[in-house]
Structure 1
Amino acid sequence: MPVETIDTLVVGAGQAGVAMSEHLTRAGVSHLVLERDRVAESWRTRRWDSLVANGPAWHDRFPSMDFPDISPDAFVPKDQVADYFETYLGRFGGDIRCGVTVTGVARLDGRPGFRVETSQGVIEALNVVVATGAFQTPVVPAIVPEQPGVLQMHSSGYRNPAELPRGAVLVVGAGSSGVQIADEIQRAGRKVYLSVGPHDRPPRSYRGRDFVWWLGVLGKWDMQAKAPGTEHVTIAVSGANGGHTVDFRELAAAGMTLVGRTEACRDGVLSFDADLERNIANGDANYLSVLREADAYIARNGLDLPPEPEAHAIAPMPASVTDPLTALDLKTAGIGTIIWATGFSNDYGWMAVDAFDAQGRPSHQRGVSSEPGIYFLGLPWLSGRGSSFIWGVWHDAKYLADHIQIHAQYRAYRPQDDVPLSSASNA
């Protein structure tokens, strides 16, 4: 079977791969996008049924196309987000093949480019863009051994309350996914325990502007990760039910039992860290700091935005927070399900290239890896705080497409013949 060749191969057709295809098309770079499932498959089948985008439609989109039939200030349901990317790729992208799995990438010997093994044969490419994103391998800490009558699942496997076994539910992790899932299950009439770790808790909106707008004008989308390994920041924010500020006190008042970080399990009894009040207080401090910066920005720029003094009022900590549970007997509490909203890790075992550090993390600057010709896209903090968001990945993709085009020009350069001396003397 002949080996197929291409200038640039893009692995993955989620939001990162779609954005990359657009920019490569605009730059005139021949490329191929490979996707093991369907376009934007994660949005369709690896999210819960009621999920909506965490940012409003005017912001969480690509610059050159609006969401059809959606108010700019609405939060787009997940299936419509997936449809958006599929439509977008058809309008702006290049060649795509779905149902193809990439199983290996290795540098070619003695010539530029890479040998890419796939489920449908071998492809040779000068460049490979790894656009598989940040949500590859669900992380489930090895804390709770298998318990009779208790279903354990990752948040990526949760769909809706009706599909869960009978009984109370423990949700571990209080970022956006964990909070929204716990709230939905409680609204369905189930008893819910929520394990709350360190987090940021921004306002959903303040003084008539969504928090994504505030992050923009305050320059926070451009923030860089402080150090390797500190890239992940748990953020408790929600676009559900029209969008609202997450307040753990309100969840507790509605009957949810908050506990600290889940630490261990012995003989069917979970133990929790005594950090609950501290974690919530630190989240409050983050929330108030955004309000203060917003107020200062309004005053400095003379904006006519209505004051919102009530947003600064923080209610007292409930007794369940100041004197929290430190242990929970799963059987006595009637726990039927544990949902681990504990994030994802990346698996690059299929890549035999020198593009990783000693910990196996991608070694790169703004997605340009230490292995020439290998690029990463869609990772958190790739270039800044906005990199893993829909609009942010679009801008990162443009940077990588420009880099690929510039290096193509270097490869294409051929020096002219030496100018004859007679011609030089007459110059």
Structure 2
Amino acid sequence: MPVEKTDTLVVGGGQAGLAMSEHLSSCGIPHVVLERNRIAERWRSERWDSLVANGPAWHDRFPGMEFSGIEPDAFAPKEQVADYLEAYAKKIDAPVRCGVEVTSVARLEGKTGFRAETSEGVIEAENVVAATGPFQRPVIPAIVPDGAVQMQLHSSTYHNPGQLPEGAVLVVGAGSSGVQIADELNRAGKKVYLSAGPHDRPPRAYRGRDYVWWLGVLGLWDLDVPKEGAEHVTIAVSGARGGQTVDFRRLASEGITLLGVTQSYENGVLTIADDLADNIAYGDRNYLSVLDEADAYVERYGLDLPEEPEARLIAADPPCVTDPILQLDLSEAGITSILWATGYALDYGWLNLDVFDEKGKPRHRRGISVVPGLYFLGLPWLSQRGSSFIYGVWHDAKYLADHILKQSKYRAYDDYVHDRKAHGEQG
């Protein structure tokens, strides 16, 4: 089979890969996008049935195309998000090849560029963009052994309440996924325990504006350096049922039993950290800080936005917070399933390049890696707070495409000089 050649190989056909393709096309750079499944596959098959986007449709989109059939302030269902991305690929005529898996990328010997082994043959490219995003390998902590309960699953394989066996369920992780799934299971009549660690808890909306609008006007989407330890801070936010502020105290009043961080397991009993009150208070401080900044912005610029004093009313802590459970006997609690909403790890096993630090994270600056010609796109905090979101990845992709174009001009000059020397001309 002959070796295919292209200027830039983009690995991944989700939002990052499509954004990259659009900007590469605008720069006139030949490229190919390889996607091992379908476009936006994770939205279709690795999310629960009732999931909606966590941001409103006017915001969580590419600049060049609006969502159709949905109000701008509504939250798009997951299938509609996937359909949107597929439609966008057609709009920009992205050269996406679905069902093609990249198994290995290595440096070409003695010259610039890379050799990519794929399920459909070899591709050589001057540049490679790893656009596979942050949700690559589901993480389940090695705490509860197999067989301790009837079912253990990661949030990526949860679809609906009917999937779980009879009995109570423990949801571990109180970010957006964990909170929404716990709420859904509780509304379906399940007895739910929710293990919550430290988290940010922003208001869904305040003074008539969505949270994403406030982050925009306050310049918080553009932050380029996270506070220490906040690169992957858990954020409890939801667009479910029209969008509501996540309130753990309300969840407790509706029947969910809140727990601190799940630490260890022995002989059928979980040990729970005595940190629930601190974790709830941490989220409250984050919530109130957004209100404070929003109020200051309104006053500074004289905006006609209605005051909302009731937003600052915080209910008393429920008994599960004031008298926390520190030992949870799974059998006594009737827990037959554990759902781990514990996030994902990066998986770049196909990149055979010296580009990772001692923690396995890519070494890069704004997506430009330490290996010339290799780029990363779609990761949290790639260049700013919004880098892993649809609108943010679009701007990061533009920066990388401009860099690729600039480097191609340097290569073109070098080829020009080489050709002149080969013909005996002066450089």
Q: TM-score, normalised by structure 1?
A: 0.96
Within-5 A mapping of 1:188-203? 188-203=188-203
Q: How does 1:17-416 map to 2 (within 5 A)?
A: 17-226=17-226, 230-413=230-413, 414=416
1:113 alignment partner AA: G
Alignment: residue pair count: 418
Unaligned runs of 5+ in 1: 419-427
Counterpart secondary structure, 2:221? helix
Contact 2:226 2:381 (8 Å CA) reproduced: no
Contact 1:62-1:394 at 8 Å conserved across structures: yes
8 Å Cα contact 1:193-1:258 kept in structure 2: yes
Q: Distance in 2 between matches of 1:22 and 1:145?
A: 46
Read off the aligned partner of 2:307 and give its amino acid letter. P
Cα distance between partner residues in 2 of 1:362 and 1:200: 25
Report the more deviating stretch, 354-363 or 109-118.
Answer: 354-363
CA contact (8 A) 1:151 1:165 kept: yes
Q: 2-side partners of 1:94 and 1:103: how far apart?
A: 22
- State the alpha-carbon separation in 1 of the partners of residues 209 and 335 from structure 2: 40
* CA drift at 1:230: 4.1
Per-residue deviation, residues 338-385 of structure 1 (Å, max 9, x unmatched): 000000001112211122112221000010000000000010000111
Q: Report deviation, 1:27.
A: 1.0
Distance 1:94 1:52 in 2: 25
Q: What is the one-letter code of the residue matched to 1:210?
A: D
Question: Structure 2 stretches of 5 or more lacking a match?
Answer: 422-427
How far did 1:229 drift?
6.1
Letter in 1 for 2:288: L
User: 2:198–2:234: 8 Å Cα contact kept in structure 1?
Assistant: yes
- Asked whether the equivalents of residues 25 and 93 of structure 1 are also in contact (C-alpha less than 8 Å), the reply is no
User: SS in structure 2 opposite 1:387?
Assistant: coil
* C-alpha contact (below 8 Å) 1:31/1:94 kept by paired residues: no
SS in 2 for 1:220: coil
CA 1:13/1:229 → structure 2, altered by over 3 Å: closer, same or farther? Answer: farther
Flag the 1:403–1:189 CA change in 2: closer, same or farther, 3 A: same
Report the CA distance shift for 1:315/1:229 in structure 2 as closer, same or farther (over 3 A): closer
Q: Secondary structure at the match of 1:48?
A: coil
The answer as to whether partners of 2:203 and 2:245 remain within 8 angstroms in 1 is: yes
Whole-Å separation in 1 of the counterparts to 2:69 and 2:341: 32
Q: Secondary structure at the match of 1:408?
A: helix
Residue 16 (structure 1) aligns with: 16
Give the secondary structure class of the aligned counterpart of 2:123: strand
Runs of 4+ in 1 over 2 A off after TM superposition: 147-150, 224-230, 414-418
Normalising by structure 2, we get a TM-score of 0.96
SS at match of 1:342: coil
CA contact (8 A) 1:18 1:93 kept: no
CA separation of 1:355 and 1:149: change in aligned 2, threshold 3 A: closer
Measured after TM superposition, the shift of residue 315 of structure 1 is: 1.2
Instruction: Output the amino acid matched with 2:352.
Output: A
Residue 251 and residue 379 in structure 1: after superposition, are their counterparts in 2 closer, same or farther (change >3 A)? same
The answer on whether the counterparts of 1:115 and 1:123 sit within 8 Å (CA) in structure 2 is yes
Matches of 2:186 and 2:226 in 1, distance apart?
Answer: 36
SS at 1:39's partner residue? Answer: coil
Alpha carbons 1:200, 1:234 under 8 Å: kept: yes
- Tell me, in whole angstroms, the C-alpha distance in 1 between the residues paired with 2:361 and 2:396: 19
Aligned 8 A contact 2:24 2:401 in 1: yes
Task: Give the letter for the 1:297 counterpart.
Answer: Y
Q: Distance in 2 between matches of 1:7 and 1:227?
A: 37
Task: Report the residue type matching 1:154 in the other structure.
Answer: H
**2:232 match: secondary structure:** coil
Cα RMSD, aligned residues only: 1.4
Write the distance in 1 (CA, Å) between the matches of 2:152 and 2:220.
36
Provide the rounded CA distance (Å) in 2 between the counterparts of 1:177 and 1:253.
20
